[in-house]
């Protein structure tokens, strides 16, 4: 028995596409969203790499050795 009130079927009917086309469209949209997420992560990693290149340990790190024996 086939459900005539299937949500996907109704949505496909409204948009004028078949169920298969609707599923393919949704799969394509999911793939695009995944690619955008990957691209965003790659951009963040590149920004981190650039920040590390600009970082100078000599000016930003206080090792604390000068006050180790001060009481």
Backbone Cα Rg of the chain: 28
Residue 43 lies in a domain: yes
Give me the pLDDT at residue 44, please. Answer: 95
Residue 18 lies in a domain: yes
Average pLDDT over the chain reads: 78
Q: Domain span at residue 16?
A: 7-55
- Entry pTM: 0.51
Residue with tokens 């949505």: 11
Q: pLDDT: is 66 or 49 the higher one?
A: 49
Residue 61 lies in a domain: no
Give me the pLDDT at residue 17, please. Answer: 72
Residue 32 lies in a domain: yes
Number of domains in the chain: 1
pLDDT confidence bin for 66, thresholds 50/70/90 = low
Residue with tokens 């590390």: 52
Give me the pLDDT at residue 3, please. Answer: 62
């Amino acid at each position: 028995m086939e459900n005539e009130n299937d949500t996907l079927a109704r949505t496909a009917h409204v948009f004028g596409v078949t169920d298969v086309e609707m599923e393919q469209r949704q799969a394509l949209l999911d793939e695009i969203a995944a690619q955008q997420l990957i691209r965003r992560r790659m951009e963040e990693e590149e920004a981190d790499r650039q920040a590390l290149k600009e970082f100078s340990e000599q000016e930003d790190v206080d090792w604390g050795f000068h006050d180790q024996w001060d009481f």
